[in-house]
Amino acid sequence: MTRITVDHVSKQYKLSSDQEPINAVNDVTLQIKSGEGVAILGPSGSGKTTLLRLIAGLEMPDSGAVYYDDEALTQIAENERNIGMVFQEYALIPHWQAQRNIGFFLRLRHRENEVPAHVRRVSQITGVGLDHLLGRFPKQLSGGEKQRVAIARAFARDLNILLFDEPFANLDAKFRATARLELRRLLNEFSVTSVIVTHDQHEAAALSERIILMRDGQIEQLGPYEHLLHDPDNLFVASFIGSPQYNFFQGVIKDGHWQNAVFGSMKLPVSVADGTPVTMAIRLEYIDVGEEGFPARVESTTPYFTERYILAEVSSGETSWQVQLPVDSTIHPGDYIHCQFDPDEMLFFHSTKEYRIA
Ligand code: ADP
Ligand code: MG
């Protein structure tokens, strides 16, 4: 197991001399505890893969440094880093059967005889037999089977760090859920520091203890999923984390109060200068639908049977928001409902600068 330190690391890509360079990773500092699992989450192009490649030593930073425990990564010989990697595209050697692919790293060290024991252990933990796949070439494997082989290969070696880049992105939804569960079991059983890149927040929440949420090469917030969900630092975090999303209400400060079309005039817990544009955010769970509160027209309803609720889009004038109705609700589009918003659960953000106000 290894503690990973990323210390003020930046990486630029220059496409051509007449174009502005891209700050793929921009002054990122973080520490991953020995044995911890973290996820790098963020939209496409936010720098997730670049940060992972910097952590892996596949990319050299322009400035800053990566450390494994107390040693600079550049000072550690490649064959002593003991990193297992799994990519979206499997990266299996096409003319090798699965058994040989899995044994790749052990063969390099003339320890091929350990491969069967590794395969048995991985199979035992995941509950998925691999024996019937071992004699097949990659082209004879389904996407899901290829990824099982690639994951078995990542574990079949001396292992300090495991790195995954969108490992399940090519799999269909049903198989993704199974594959995620198998990987969760492996991570529980092997003592290893892991970093998983994903743009899927459910995957991030399931496979990590802490989430690094990135945008434009920088960390927007780092912490457990529930923390990012309930205590977002800024509007970007609030709009990215949580599905369904937060509801947002635009307003402006006047006479020291927040003014909004639905809510009228509200006192904020902190004082904010008049004229400041302020966005209120509240999760659906904290809006009660009943006899009292603000009236709203139901625009559309979408049932979520397994989660046992109906998602309703409602509106008042130009403002719309979402609420959750019981799965057996008889409310239809065109009906009017009343919404009560829990004032203790309202978050306030500067609308343009995005930071949290209260
Ligand atoms: P993500 O994995 O979050 O989608 P990446 O780390 O792949 O993001 O990319 C971050 C930014 O760097 C993007 O703007 C991307 O276009 C750019 N980028 C990534 N790799 C290269 C490269 N090899 N050459 C030039 N630009 C790159
Ligand atoms: Mg990527």
Quickly list DSSP for 172-192: -HHHHHHHHHHHHHHHHHS--
Return the DSSP state at 21: P
Ligand nearest to the CA of 214: 1
Ligand nearest to the CA of 24: 1
Residue 266's DSSP bridge partners are 258
Decide: 42 in ligand 1 pocket, CB within 6 A.
yes
Query: Which pLDDT value is given to residue 64?
Result: 98
Share above pLDDT 90 across residues of the chain, in percent, rounded to a whole number: 87
Contact at 8 Å (CB) between 151 and 87? no
- What's the pLDDT band for 31 if we cut at 50, 70, 90? very high
Hey, how many other C-beta atoms are within 10 angstroms of the C-beta on 256? Answer: 12
Share above pLDDT 70 across residues of the chain, in percent, rounded to a whole number: 100
Decide: 24 in ligand 1 pocket, CB within 6 A.
yes
Query: Which pLDDT value is given to residue 267?
Result: 94
Decide: 22 in ligand 1 pocket, CB within 6 A.
yes
Decide: 45 in ligand 1 pocket, CB within 6 A.
yes
* 49 Cα: distance to centroid of ligand 1 (angstroms): 7
- What's the pLDDT band for 134 if we cut at 50, 70, 90? very high
> Is it the case that residue 296 has pLDDT exceeding 90?
yes
The ligand 1 atom at the shortest distance from the C-alpha of residue 47 is 6
pLDDT, mean over the chain: 95
Question: What is the Cα–Cα distance from 129 to 160, expressed in whole angstroms?
Answer: 25
Query: Which pLDDT value is given to residue 175?
Result: 87
Question: What is the Cα–Cα distance from 215 to 45, expressed in whole angstroms?
Answer: 8
Query: Which pLDDT value is given to residue 15?
Result: 87
Q: Which of 259, 258, 279 is nearest to 270 (CA)?
A: 258
Buried residues in 288-315 as b, exposed as e (16+ CB within 10 A): ebeeeebebebeebeeeeeeebbbbbbe
Contact at 8 Å (CB) between 148 and 185? no
Mean pLDDT of 276-301: 96
- What's the pLDDT band for 331 if we cut at 50, 70, 90? very high
Query: Which pLDDT value is given to residue 174?
Result: 86
Decide: 64 in ligand 1 pocket, CB within 6 A.
no
- What's the pLDDT band for 287 if we cut at 50, 70, 90? very high
- H or E element, residue 312: strand 309-316
**Sequence spans of domains, the chain:** 4-236, 248-350
CATH 3.20.20.70 fits 4-236, yes or no: no
Return the DSSP state at 124: H
Query: Which pLDDT value is given to residue 128?
Result: 86
**256: alpha, beta or left, given left = phi > 0 and alpha = psi -120 to 50?**
left
Decide: 61 in ligand 1 pocket, CB within 6 A.
no
Decide: 252 in ligand 1 pocket, CB within 6 A.
no
Ligand nearest to the CA of 47: 1
**In this predicted model, what pLDDT tens digit does every residue of 180-210 receive, in sequence order?**
999 999 999 998 999 999 999 999 999 999 9
**In this predicted model, what pLDDT tens digit does every residue of 139-179 receive, in sequence order?**
999 999 999 999 999 999 999 999 999 999 988 888 899 99
Mean pLDDT of 77-89: 91
Q: State which of 13, 60, 195, 219 you would mutate to test the pocket of ligand 1, scoring each by most atoms of that ligand within 8 A of its C-beta.
A: 13
Query: Which pLDDT value is given to residue 351?
Result: 98
Q: Which amino acid is at 41?
A: L
* 294 Cα: distance to centroid of ligand 1 (angstroms): 46
- What's the pLDDT band for 126 if we cut at 50, 70, 90? confident
Ligand nearest to the CA of 50: 1
Question: pTM, whole model, 2 decimals?
Answer: 0.94
Query: Which pLDDT value is given to residue 205?
Result: 96
CA-nearest residue for atom 25, ligand 1, is 13
Query: Which pLDDT value is given to residue 73?
Result: 97
Q: Strand, helix or coil at 93? A: coil
**In this predicted model, what pLDDT tens digit does every residue of 298-314 receive, in sequence order?**
999 999 999 999 999 99
Q: Phi/psi at 58 (nearest 5 deg)? A: -80, -15
> Is it the case that residue 224 has pLDDT exceeding 90?
yes
* 228 Cα: distance to centroid of ligand 2 (angstroms): 21
By CB atoms closer than 10 A (0-12, 13-18, 19+), residue 19 is exposed
Mean pLDDT of 98-110: 92
CATH of 248-350, one of 1.10.10.1100, 2.40.30.10, 1.10.274.50, 2.40.50.140: 2.40.50.140
CA-nearest residue for atom 6, ligand 1, is 47
Query: Which pLDDT value is given to residue 312?
Result: 98
Decide: 221 in ligand 1 pocket, CB within 6 A.
no
